[in-house]
Amino acid sequence: MNLFSGRATIAMTTILLGSSGALAAGDPGAGKGLFASHCAVCHSPNPGDNKTGPSLAGVVGSNSGAVPGFSFSTAMKNAGVTWDDATLDKFLANPTGFIHGTMMFVGLANAGDRADVIAYLHTLKK
């Protein structure tokens, strides 16, 4: 016996998909705070300001290993990744699992935190 009527199933699916879509969008304000507390030790949001890690200004849409003036690992230079929401999410979840040999080893386990940081990264322009 089906526990849900057709309408209830459609309504539940709409609620679930709507919720995940909202979560996936992320909050750039929250992401800015997470960036400051988790990422800014190694990365700058300012163009040309490389630290232990490269500047992340303009990272969305760029290619891996392509920030001028930063010495990337061979793995990052050869990864052939274009940084979009999906690749950033995979990388931030498990950097060394996504790009074996990367120098970055700190990730963000929480999917909501990753979505927020990615939303913030979208605001960083070159």
Residue 101 backbone class (left: φ over 0; alpha: ψ -120 to 50; beta: rest): left
The 10s digit of each residue's pLDDT in 36-81 is 999 999 999 999 999 999 999 999 999 999 999 999 999 999 999 9
Q: Is 65 exposed, middle or buried (0-12, 13-18, 19+ CB in 10 A)?
A: buried
User: Is residue 126 a contact partner of residue 55, using CB atoms and an 8 Å limit?
Assistant: no
Instruction: Report H helices in 3-122.
Output: 6-25, 28-34, 74-77, 85-93, 95-98, 111-121
Instruction: Enter the CATH code of domain 6-121.
Output: 1.10.760.10
Contacts of residue 21, Cβ cutoff 8 Å, sequence gap at least 6? none
Tell me what pLDDT residue 82 has: 98
Using DSSP's 3-state secondary structure scheme, residue 97 falls into: helix
Q: CA angle at residue 115 from 112 to 120, to 5 degrees? A: 130
pTM of the model: 0.80
For residue 19, pLDDT beyond 90: no
The residue that leads in pLDDT, 23 or 67, is 67
The residue that leads in pLDDT, 13 or 79, is 79
For residue 90, pLDDT beyond 70: yes
Tell me what pLDDT residue 12 has: 32
